Amino acid sequence: MTNETNENAAAAARRAEADERAMRRALEEARLAAEEGEVPVGAVVTDGTGKRIASARNQTRTLCDPTAHAEILAIGAAAGVKGDWRLDDCTLYVTLEPCAMCAGACVTARVGRVVWAADDPLRGGARSRFRILETAELNHHPEIETGVLAEEASRMLKDFFKTRRAENRAARNGGGGDEAD
């Protein structure tokens, strides 16, 4: 191996470690969202040096706002911290592939890199269902990385919806619990 190859491998390893650290923080935001009864999606934005400048979680129910997705909230917070709507030197980490709205926000904010854990084959706006981040007609195309801690993120989402379905069934069936007389 040449020195350049060794340096590239070391840089890739450092980047993978940084991606995992940031995604773990996004997963923590997702856990908080679940505790609040929100769909467990969390997001983190880092600047060009890798410093976390914003983090958020889904808050659509809490804020009664259908646009209060983790990505939208994190992008807005990061722009406020930077004092600039252009986030071209930033990376957005999110536990679930961005929907069409959030992918559009990534393009509009010129996010430099988008990293997500779990794909969303039903509503994914970045690559799985729609390919907004790769649409040739748009004026910005962030770098994309997928699958970082995907298993953990997928498990959290599946567990959340399994519990929610059970609660909904119990509510339809009159509570289903043993109530004291």
Residue 22 confidence (pLDDT): 97
Our answer to whether residue 71 is catalytic in this structure is yes
DSSP designation for 132 = G
- From first to last of its 181 residues, the chain has per-residue pLDDT tens of 577 788 888 888 898 999 999 999 999 999 999 999 999 999 999 999 999 999 999 999 999 999 999 999 999 999 999 999 999 999 999 999 999 999 999 999 999 999 999 999 999 999 999 999 999 999 999 999 999 999 999 999 999 999 988 888 888 887 655 444 3
Catalytic residue among 28, 29, 35, 71, which? 71
172-176: Cβ within 8 A, 24+ apart: none
> Residue 58 contacts by C-beta under 8 Å, 6 or more apart in sequence?
30, 33, 38, 39, 40, 41, 42, 68, 69, 70
Q: Which two tokens stand for residue 22?
A: 């940031």
